[in-house]
Amino acid sequence: MQSCAPEAVDVDSESVATRKLYGLDEKLTEPFGRQCVMARRLVERGVRFVQLYHGGLGQQNRDTWDAHDDVKDNHTRHAAEVDRPISALLTDLKARGLLDTTLVLWHGEFGRMPISQKGVGRDHNPGAMTMWMAGAKIKGGQIIGASDEFGYKAEQQPIAVHDLHATTLHLLGVDHTRLTYLFNGRNMRLTDVYGELIPQLASRRGHALGGVIARLRRLADRSGRSERERPFGRPSTKKSLAISHMMTLYDEAIPVDPESGRE
């Protein structure tokens, strides 16, 4: 880490054109733009999980997305801070041939209520929220599900967090029903006893990490270990996915065909 990390996070070594693409030349977009450039550099170097946060520090209701005071002013300001860097990241990943093997998720903790708070603010809404996904060969341009006419509660094809986790693992080439870890004497799953694949996404299997899984299974077969010991049959390590105001990227590290298992 001490020898390779300084070079990996050296954003200033990027070209003038790349720095401009991510908005590093503008005060408004520079902070998150720098995070996005760093994320791309880490993905290029084989880092499998990258997590970016925006708006988690500073003055509540102003420097964060928690728009209790004025939702229009808050979201307009913060959207301007992230739109250009996010667009640049997706453009850059695609141009470098990395987007098809990288799953990108953007999401927050919850939605906002359709009724006012303090006049022009909005309180938390756990019943309806929006997120987006890109990369991993999933079909773009889809709108999946919808709230009621007021934006109060998910009404058409409501998707639970367990469904999101199951689908994310599926796109990475992992069967969520087989990914377990031993806890309190019981084989636990990230999705507990729930989790249904989102059909619009699962029908096009991107397998951003499918090659890694195929290789692990092949190595387990060669070693002659039992199913209980094989990776992703009953692994002992816990896999988790945090939900916050963040962007999450998963990247393929080993180029292996997920169907044939060949490198």
| Residues listed for the chain | 263
Residue 41 pLDDT greater than 70, yes or no = yes
* CA dist., res. 224 & res. 203, Å (int): 33
- pTM score: 0.78
Measure Cα distances from 229 to 21, 134, 181 in Å: 47, 34, 11
Helix count (H) and strand count (E) of the chain? 7, 10
Summarize the confidence of residues 5-21 as an average pLDDT. 95
Nearest residue to 128 via CA among 150, 96, 143: 150
DSSP 8-state secondary structure symbol assigned to residue 63: T
In tens, the pLDDT along 160-194 reads: 999 999 999 999 989 999 999 999 999 999 899 99
